[in-house]
């Protein structure tokens, strides 16, 4: 027994998702392209203007034996922490999260973080080992 699908594809008006999907697939005329504004584009445009000391910790306590690297930006001043966190995660090739002024990175990536922060002109200090 065959299933009868009455799905009809075609241009839909005022639907940004279908227009973005059609644009990505190359199935849309160039007149109806609607630019989508996302926060990610705004984040990439903000400049990093942090100054101060970044403390780098290494922990595995309380995380079921998983190792994490913590970057504490509480002594740093300025704007652009969200975009800096995103670029650090990308340069180290790891996942992580930003909780307030503390960036948690998965794994032991202290060396990569120190080099990256030094290239940006930020001072870093290892706390602990």
DSSP class per residue in 31-77? GG--PPP-HHHHHHHSPP--EEEEEEEEE-TTTTT--EEEEE-TTEE
Predicted local distance difference test score (pLDDT) of residue 43: 41
The residue that leads in pLDDT, 8 or 66, is: 66
Q: What is the arithmetic mean of pLDDT over 31-40?
A: 49
Q: What is the arithmetic mean of pLDDT over 23-52?
A: 57
Cα distance between residue 60 and residue 43, in whole Å? 31
The residue that leads in pLDDT, 45 or 117, is: 117
Residues 74 and 90 sit within 8 Å (Cβ to Cβ): no
Domain with CATH 3.30.780.10 in the chain: 46-126
User: Which residues pair with residue 126 across a beta bridge?
Assistant: 56
Residue 116: pLDDT band with limits 50, 70, 90: very high
Cα distance between residue 126 and residue 129, in whole Å? 7
Cα distance between residue 94 and residue 106, in whole Å? 6
Length of the chain: 129
* Structure tokens belonging to residue 80: 């652009």
The residue that leads in pLDDT, 103 or 18, is: 103
Predicted local distance difference test score (pLDDT) of residue 10: 59
Residue 35 in this model has a pLDDT that exceeds 60: no
Predicted local distance difference test score (pLDDT) of residue 87: 92
Predicted local distance difference test score (pLDDT) of residue 89: 94
CATH 3.30.780.10 fits 46-126, yes or no: yes
The answer, as to whether pTM is greater than 0.85, is no
């Amino acid at each position: 027994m065959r299933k009868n699908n009455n799905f009809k594809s075609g241009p839909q008006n005022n639907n940004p998702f279908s227009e973005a999907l059609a644009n990505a697939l190359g199935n849309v005329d160039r007149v109806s392209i609607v630019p989508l504004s996302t926060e990610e584009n705004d984040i990439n445009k903000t400049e990093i203007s942090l100054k101060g000391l970044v403390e780098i910790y290494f922990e595995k306590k309380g995380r079921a034996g998983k190792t994490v690297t913590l970057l504490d930006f509480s002594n740093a001043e300025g704007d652009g922490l969200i975009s800096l966190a995103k670029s650090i995660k990308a340069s180290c090739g790891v996942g992580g999260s930003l909780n307030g002024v503390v960036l948690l990175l998965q794994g032991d990536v202290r060396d990569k973080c120190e080099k990256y922060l030094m290239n940006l002109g930020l001072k870093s200090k290892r706390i602990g080992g």
